[in-house]
Structure 1
Amino acid sequence: MKNHDVAGRMADSPSREGLREAVRRQILSYTGSDPDRAGVRDVYRGLAFALREYLAEKWIETQRAYYESGAKRIYYLSLEFLVGRSLMSNILSLGLEDDARAVVESYGHSLDDIEEMEWDAGLGNGGLGRLASCFMDSLATQGFAAYGYGIRYDFGIFWQVIENGAQTERPDNWMRFGCPWQFERQGHLYPVQFGGSVRILHDEQGNERRIWVGSEHVLAVACDMLVPGYRNGKVINMRLWNAKASREFALDYFQRGDYVGAVEEKAKSENISKVLYPDDSRVQGQELRLKQQYFFVAATIQDIVRRSRKQSGGLAGMPDRVAVQLNDTHPAIAIPELMRVLVDEEELNWDDAWSICVRTFAYTNHTILPEALEHWPVETMQRVLPRHMEIIYEINARFLQLVRRLHPGDDALAARLSIIDEDHGRRVRMAHLALVGSHMVNGVSALHTDLLRSSVFQDFHDMYPRRFVNMTNGVTPRRWMLQANPLLSDLITEAIGPGWETDLARLRDLRPLAEDAQFRQRWREVKFENKKRLSAYMLPRARVLAPPEFMFDVHVKRIHEYKRQLLNVLHVVTLYNRLRGAPPGECPLPCVPRVAIFGGKAAPAYAMAKLTIRLIHAVASVVNGDPHVSNYLRVAFVPNYCVSNAEKIIPGTDLSEQISTAGTEASGTGNMKFAMNGALTIGTMDGATVEMAKEIGDEHFFIFGLHTPEVAALKARGYDPRRIYDADRELRLAVDMIANGHFSPREPGLFEPIRQSWLDDGDKYMVMADYRSYVEAQERAAHLYQDREEWTRVSILNTAGMGYFSSDRTIAQYAREIWGAEPVTGSGARKK
């Protein structure tokens, strides 16, 4: 039962006057400003600190409830948490939207203006981090005793600026004005060491003990960010580690007058938490990334052990009280770290320690792309973490003994399963380490998990068939519907009543309303208002006027060849050519004016991705500059794609582009956000789009392209992209225009590498193969868009079919099938 009244306010939340007084007090005490003359930033900080104070009270009550219940703790380890902004999310979770709006208006500001004062937290990059944040929301909302662990980065991955059509990376200084949502916990300070050597000692019984003596020491300081459940009185936290030098500066340097040298060690140590994903194209960057991963893992394991000691049963009972989820391989070093703690410090025997480890850890795989499966040179691991390399060797030796006992004489199998890859310069396969050291391994969509079982990790699945399970991803409807799309959320609540926000399966009640002409009209009006908002947002940023009457065809996600933004560009060029060839003032059938909207960041060292961004802008310049063509087709690129602009883009989208090569996308979560908000999907049968089509109905998707088995079969037969290029006139024309400088007359050879990747280098992601099918699917979409009543009906059915894709369902499934955990009921408030 929710702890709020009919209006949505939680029963014990502050009154409007109480909130007003709290904001005034915080403006005075935290900003040192005159509340009667407070500027917009002062009011933002005053409101944020007032909310944080209330959240802290609820967090303490929640922690008491956890301890009193003896509930199993869930620890979610992730190198990323793509939080976005916290203000509106916290206001909605507390049921204080009307009160907060009234309070800030009393200072002469709008709540929208206040929200814009907050920077997106630079704690993540893409789907991995956004999923982690959705999971934290669902863990809090469902009342699990859970904690997220990661790094408190001083800078995000980068702030994307477009200059002359090219991506430029600038520092994402999201902490420039501080972060009012954090609590720095100086009491939780843990030492982390690197390098050094391993000493062998013998105890009084003659048993051999190993002691790791590190040469470099860093302190991990805990920073907590509070995560409220949706109107249930529960608040959990992400504990993010910040690196601090073990000493402020070297006094001997200082006394010699070497002031730079005096602080150099401090600066070097604190680089560990300075920036998300440092460039690993050089050895120094690779070493820093490994240090980042171990830094947050080592501090986290110390924190988990500290908390576990408070519970009965000692460390031997840890698997019954603790579940640790590894979000991808970034935290996989936690496995040898816990072994080190148990064997070296707690002096458990190896077998007992290993049993504790395997029963405690579970691993989520997020990719099947071989180049994305993380591995570390043995030399780097030995230099940075010498004791852990010894432990990994021991884990591997014992595991391979088992393999050879089960499959005697099969040396090839042992080589494939080995944690150490001996064929590519001796590297530690982190995915193999995670697979061997976890009791459960999950994929993130049905197709992805099937591929893990049948191809990528088939040998492991043959050994441990019960270890592999599927947990199809989901997203939180609180952020991605209630907060991002209040107009649609209000319409849904009016139509089917409240409660769907925490029971998304109730969206199915919208299905009969898809046949109601009056409801369809109101649905269209909401979409049109969202498109107007998006158009106004894009104009000063993308510098393109996007008339809301146009179809908004949206492709926003990380720029990568497998996500195939280039296939979308080929279609745009094809439309451009058709429009150029039409008589003046006419539009080729099906005539649907559209804006092709792109957004996404390219990794700084990923040349083809950055060239893709340049091509999008080059095509946009030509298309938008042609007065005949631009009446029917425009191209826009929204810079610095992030959570806060996704919240504006997604509700205004008509057509959602999910066009990765079949068999390459693990799941996707953007596909879910778009469909929840009524966008129709054009896509391949890849990732979770397969399950979405099943839930919503294939007939309501614009599916195209090769399926996963067909991709594999075509490659096995010998795929010839040039043959397809030669046979398709429109494709050939589009490719030649890109390659020959039509869109880059001042640099005619600029895009030649793109043509080369398609025609000379094998077209790895099958762009040529899927081009014609994609163009035909786009034509089907255009035909349907001309029938506004039918398009709206299908839009409603898309939203109605998305109940399964709530992160609440995903988390409940994790808890049931992997963690063995149950929600905590009741309050931890002290009894009077």
Structure 2
Amino acid sequence: MSKPLSDHDRKKQISVRGLAGPENVAELKVAFNRHLHFTLVKDRNVATKRDYYFALANTVRDHLVGRWIRTQQYYYEKDPKRVYYISLEFYMGRTLQNTMVNLALENACDEAIYQLGLDMEELEDMEEDAGLGNGGLGRLAACFLDSMASLGLAAYGYGIRYEFGIFNQKIVNGWQVEEADDWLRYGNPWEKARPEYMRPVKFYGRTEHSPSGVKWVDAQVVLALPYDTPIPGYRNNIVNTMRLWSAKAPCDFNLKDFNVGGYIQAVLDRNLCENISRVLYPNDNFFEGKELRLKQEYFVVAATLQDIIRRFKVSKFGSREIARTDFNELPNKVAIQLNDTHPAMAIPELMRVLVDEEKLDWDVAWNICTRTCAYTNHTVLPEALERWPIDLFHHLLPRHLEIIFEINRRFLEFVASKYPGDSDRLARMSLIEEGPCKKVNMAHLCIVGSHAVNGVARIHSEILIATLYVFKDFYELEPHKFQNKTNGITPRRWLVMCNPGLAEVIAEVRIGEDFVRDLDQLKKLLKFINDDAFIRDIAKIKQENKLKFAVHLEEHYKVKINPQSMFDFQVKRIHEYKRQLLNCLHMITYYNRIKKEPNKHWTPRTIMVGGKAAPGYHTAKMIIRLITAIGEVVNNDPVIGDRLKVLFLENYRVTLAEKAIPSADLSEQISTAGTEASGTGNMKFMLNGALTIGTMDGANVEMAEEAGEENLFIFGMRVEDVDAMDAGKGYHATEYYNRIPELKQAMDQIAGGFFSPKQPDLFKELVDLLMHHDRFKVFADYESYIKCQEKVNELYKKPKEWTKKVIHNIAGCGKFSSDRTISQYAREIWGVEPSLEKIPAPDDRCSFIATHIELTAPAHDK
């Protein structure tokens, strides 16, 4: 297999990645060698690739520091309203290349490293992914941070600095095996510990009520140590902050209780405190009610709110710094966005601070709280909605349970005044769910305690307010609260960074560079829809990306694939509602068809599935095993050859996505209509020139509107069809099984051990699930899906027509920029105005920065 073009040769001509002037390159080489020598204490004789990566990371970081300090000074001087995005997950991936892109340093760094005799891609591969998220929700938060900085918002991301992120996935004998993600093993050059801003967080204990107020006493204290990571905007000299909290035991933890011989055990017990930030819970769209998880959720909001209020109280009037004491100003200076229900404890915690510590009247405090907080919902699946047992609450957070009871009492009085005598409605809307085990419904708490509630795609937001078990009652009570904010992705990482060839064709050859900050400008590409040269350029870039990914697969997976075949991807968390099983049925059907007519001209396909299954999600793990089993049979059948390959991509993560997505021809977005809130992978594939085969679910609906439904492959039931089926005769899998011969054949092969000859009953549970317990109606969409795949095959045989549809899709991506999403949040929820203006650039020379800090700079974090 021939090697594709090197990234070095391609990137050096792309102005969207910065210009490599000889002065810049020379300065970078000097800085690189200085860091290798003084920071890492190495020379070229003993330095490793990892040393070279750290030297380069520190060199690039030098260019962030002045901008970072200047940005915080600028916010302190201007005192804008600040946005606080609280999320239990930030799936950042790697930082080096993204920083170089946003600072316009990539070509200069690439040239400097080249002149130093090193390979940039090898150094970039030394960086560990910051995998502090499970999937879409955490990656969305990362895109939002990029956009908030690029739009000039005074914004902060707050979360947890997990010592172990999302697990590394290994496939051993076809099964998923989890390994700990020790991402901090070699250190993290991008973070800065801030022990001076350490905050105490309390757990357990009891409450004391007196005429002077309520006190939370006898509590256990854990310290929250902040680590700050710079978030650079795109070429505007703004660098915002992501602050992640790490749990530390106080020095006197348990020591006051130890007696002779107990000292060692008391010190060892510190781990119990520090476990709070030890590991990310690896569940996506599934709620797991463990005490440690609730501790994590309270830990992050308690520390964050102390930080928010500290910053709020310090105000600058002219040249004087004074303490702001009027908390009625809080909603005018602070916006708190809750990323799903995980940070819901911010609402009772803010009430506790305002009422118990600041001594505000309840009604005044509640008005401040609701005007400050806003809530984003990410799912309609009932099993994903958080409900915490009251007994656990009482044990862990006794004061907060009292506050939640009081919020609920007052809220139900309000509901009763609007709907007198409607006890059923009161029961449905209560924050406390009755039953053998009383629980706090965290989604209800978020709705009641926020001034804005949004879904993440138009169809999702419509389902939220139309569905009884979700939020319909709340919408009828307060319709003004509910909004839609369709998700988006950052074009910096998901086009400029991961697909330089496509960025070059768009920018240099056709429409200029402004699309990087205004993705709507991609509409200009429609002028070239019949331009043969442009069509050839797009097709050529796709083929180069495919060739490069095929080389990657051969190097890392020891699998040879046909780079001329259609690259068909379904990469996302493994979950029944995402219907990887429907994809499996197509693999088997296509295999059977080729076997039946081996001499027919078949469209070659390489079907790649990737994603992690939650460790405790048995069905998801069985789905992975079925995919690997199908691959074992298909890939070793000489009759099939390279006309069909089935691969499971091990350890799918941000870095692998950046390699895979630019190579994709077909994007599988095949969830049951009404189950996927939005999706963002679908947008990444669309922007990188893949065509979508999908249901009318989540953001697929809006993608079809923007690109034209005729330019996507839409199949299957719509939401109204699913609802009609549920309301009518229901879903009966056996009807489809008996009626559709190819479906029956595929299921019989799975059930009979064709794909698991050594264990014929291996997939018995999956067969039983599909035949009798399938909530997501796989068989109901099988026939439509297979026919749609036939249309895909036919169009792929016509490269020019295929590429025209690709161009329509790329041109229709403007709406799906996270810049647009954040602009809407800013104007319609947070009450702030985005800006594309730059702040003055600092001089990056260290001597200047040192002098400037000494003479004029306030504390970095103000």
Q: Structure 1 length as normaliser, TM-score?
A: 0.95
Q: Any stretches of 5+ residues in structure 1 without a counterpart?
A: 204-208
Tell me which residue corresponds to 2:375: 363
| Partners of 2:559 and 2:585 in 1: CA distance | 20
1:643 aligns with 2:641: no
Higher alpha-carbon deviation: 634-643 or 23-32: 23-32
Distance 2:16 2:297 in 1: 45
Task: Give the 3 Å change call, closer, same or farther, for CA 6–622 of structure 1 in structure 2.
Answer: closer
Once the two structures are TM-superposed, the CA of residue 229 in structure 1 deviates from its matched residue by: 0.5
**Rounded Cα–Cα distance in structure 2 between residues aligned with 1:789 and 1:284:** 49
Q: In the alignment, does 2:82 pair up with 1:73?
A: yes
> Could you say if the C-alpha distance between residues 253 and 68 of structure 1 is closer, same or farther in structure 2, counting changes exceeding 3 Å?
closer
2:821 pairs, out of 797, 810, 821, with 810
Separation of aligned partners in 1, 2:415 and 2:229:
44
Give, in angstroms, the shift of residue 214 of structure 1.
4.4
Q: Aligned pair 1:166/2:178, yes or no?
A: no
The answer to whether structure 1 residue 491 and structure 2 residue 517 are counterparts is no
Alignment match, 1:290: 294
SS of residue in 1 equivalent to 2:222 = strand
Tell me which residue corresponds to 1:405. 417
| 1:524 counterpart = 2:524 | no
**Could you tell me which amino acid in structure 1 is paired with residue 491 of structure 2?**
P
Per-residue CA distance 1:278-331 (angstroms, 9 max, x = gap): 689999970000000100110000000000001346322100011000000000
Q: 1:242 aligns with which of 241, 246, 252?
A: 246
Count of aligned residue pairs for this structure pair: 818
1:745 to 730, 746, 757: 757
Q: Residues 751 and 541 from structure 1, CA distance in 2 versus in 1: closer, same or farther, beyond 3 angstroms?
A: farther
Please name the residue that 1:562 is paired with: 577
| CA deviation vs aligned residue, 1:525-556 (integer Å, no higher than 9, x gap) | 10011001111112244443221100000000
* C-alpha distance in structure 1 between counterparts of 2:697 and 2:218, whole Å: 46
SS state at 1:83 partner:
strand
2:318 maps to: none
Partner of 2:57: 48
Deviations 1:195-216, CA, capped at 9 Å, x for gaps = 111111223xxxxx11112432
Tell me the SS of whatever aligns to 1:743: coil
Which residue identity does 1:292 align to in structure 2?
Q
Residue 615 of structure 1 corresponds to which residue in structure 2? 626
Tell me if structure 1 keeps the 8 A contact 2:16–2:513: no
Preserved contact between residue 286 and residue 383 of structure 2 (Cα < 8 Å):
no
Establish whether residue 696 from structure 1 lines up as the match of residue 707 from structure 2. Answer: yes
Query: Who is 2:480 aligned against?
Result: 466
Equivalent residue for 1:539? 554
What SS does the corresponding residue of 1:187 show, helix, strand or coil?
helix
Compute the RMSD of aligned alpha carbons: 2.2
Q: Which residue of 1 aligns with 2:443?
A: 431
Instruction: Quote the residue 1:799 is aligned against.
Output: 810
Are 2:491 and 1:480 equivalent residues in the alignment?
A: no
Equivalent in the alignment of 2:145: 136
| 2:726 is aligned with 1:715 | yes
One-letter amino acid of the structure 2 residue matched with residue 492 of structure 1? I
> Does the CA contact (< 8 Å) of 1:556 and 1:641 recur in 2?
yes
Q: Give, as a single letter, the amino acid of the residue that structure 2 aligns with 1:371.
A: E
Distance 2:370 2:254 in 1: 42
Distance 1:580 1:176, change over 3 A: same
**Counterpart position of 1:299:** 303
1:116-150 CA-to-partner distances (Å, cap 9, x unmatched) read: 00010121110001100000000001100000000
Deviations 1:64-120 (CA, angstroms, capped at 9, x unpaired): 111222211000000111100000000111111122112222332111111000010
How do 1:88-167 and structure 2 match up within 5 A?
88-167=97-176
Q: Closer, same or farther in 2 for the Cα pair 1:617/1:784, shift >3 Å?
A: same
- Render the CA deviation track for 1:682-718: whole Å, top value 9, x for unaligned: 0000000000000000001110000001101112212
Cα deviation, 1:772-795, whole Å, max 9, x if unaligned, reads 000001000000000011001111
Give the whole-Å Cα distance in 1 for the aligned partners of 2:154 and 2:544.
Answer: 40
Q: Secondary structure at the match of 1:515?
A: coil
Query: Which residue of 1 is the match for residue 9 of structure 2?
Result: none
**In the alignment, structure 1 residue 819 sits paired with structure 2 residue 819:** no
> 238-247 vs 96-105, which deviates more?
96-105
SS in 2 for 1:15: helix
Asked whether the 8 Å contact 1:659–1:682 carries over to 2, the reply is yes
The reply on whether 1:504 has 2:516 as its aligned counterpart is no
Report the Cα distance in structure 1 between the residues aligned to 2:664 and 2:225, rounded to whole angstroms: 42
The 3-state SS of whatever aligns with 1:376 is strand
Structure 2 distance, partners of 1:606, 1:463, is 37
Conservation of the 8 A alpha-carbon contact between 1:278 and 1:288: no
SS of structure 1 residue aligned to 2:516: coil
8 Å contact kept, 1:473–1:805: yes
C-alpha change, 1:365 and 1:268, in structure 2 (3 Å) is same
Tell me, yes or no, if structure 1 residue 200 matches structure 2 residue 213: no
Deviation at 1:9, TM superposition (A): 4.7
Would the aligned equivalents of 1:184 and 1:222 in 2 still touch at CA under 8 Å?
yes
Say whether the 8 Å CA contact 1:26–1:50 is kept in structure 2. Answer: yes
Question: Are 1:310 and 2:297 matched, yes or no?
Answer: no
Q: Distance in 2 between matches of 1:109 and 1:308?
A: 47
2:719 alignment partner AA: T
The amino acid of 2:486's aligned partner reads T
Identify the match of residue 514 of structure 1 among 521, 529, 539. Answer: 529
Q: Normalized against structure 2, the TM-score is what?
A: 0.92
Residue equivalent to 2:398: 386
Deviates more, 1:223-232 or 1:28-37: 28-37
Q: Corresponding residue for 1:579? A: 594
SS of alignment partner, residue 82 of structure 1: strand
| Cα distance between partner residues in 1 of 2:707 and 2:67 | 39
CA distance in 2, matches of 1:520, 1:700: 16
Per-residue deviation at 1:262? 2.9
The answer to whether the Cα contact below 8 Å between 2:457 and 2:699 also exists between their aligned partners in 1 is yes
Partner of 1:602: 613
Kindly state the Cα deviation for residue 669 of structure 1 after the two structures are TM-superposed.
0.2
What are the superposed Cα offsets for residues 386-407 of structure 1, whole Å, 9 maximum, x if unpaired? 1000000000000000001111
8 A Cα contact 2:693 2:714, kept in partner:
yes
Q: Distance in 1 between matches of 2:263 and 2:40?
A: 33
Map residues 331-350 of structure 1 onto 2, 5 A cutoff: 331-350=343-362
What is the DSSP-based 3-state SS (H/G/I as helix, E as strand, rest coil) of the residue aligned with 1:555? strand
Deviates more, 1:777-786 or 1:820-829: 820-829
The answer to whether structure 1 residue 724 and structure 2 residue 724 are counterparts is no
Q: Matched residues in 2 for 1:525 and 1:248: separation?
A: 65
C-alpha displacement at 1:255, in angstroms?
7.0
Q: Provide the residue aligned with 1:206 in structure 2.
A: none
CA apart distance, 1:37? 4.9
Give the whole-Å Cα distance in 2 for the aligned partners of 1:689 and 1:716: 25
Q: For each residue in 1:181-238, what CA deviation from the matched residue of structure 2 results, as whole angstroms up to 9, or x when unmatched?
A: 00000111000111111111223xxxxx111124321100000010100111000010
Against the structure 1 CA distance between its residues 283 and 526, is the aligned structure 2 distance closer, same or farther, given a 3 Å change threshold?
closer
Letter in 1 for 2:595: R
SS of the residue corresponding to residue 117 of structure 2 reads coil
Identify if the C-alpha distance between structure 1 residues 281 and 82 changes in structure 2 by more than 3 Å, giving closer, same or farther: closer
Could you say if the C-alpha distance between residues 214 and 482 of structure 1 is closer, same or farther in structure 2, counting changes exceeding 3 Å?
Answer: farther
Deviation at 1:250, TM superposition (A): 4.8
- Greater shift in the superposed pair: 544-553 or 131-140: 544-553
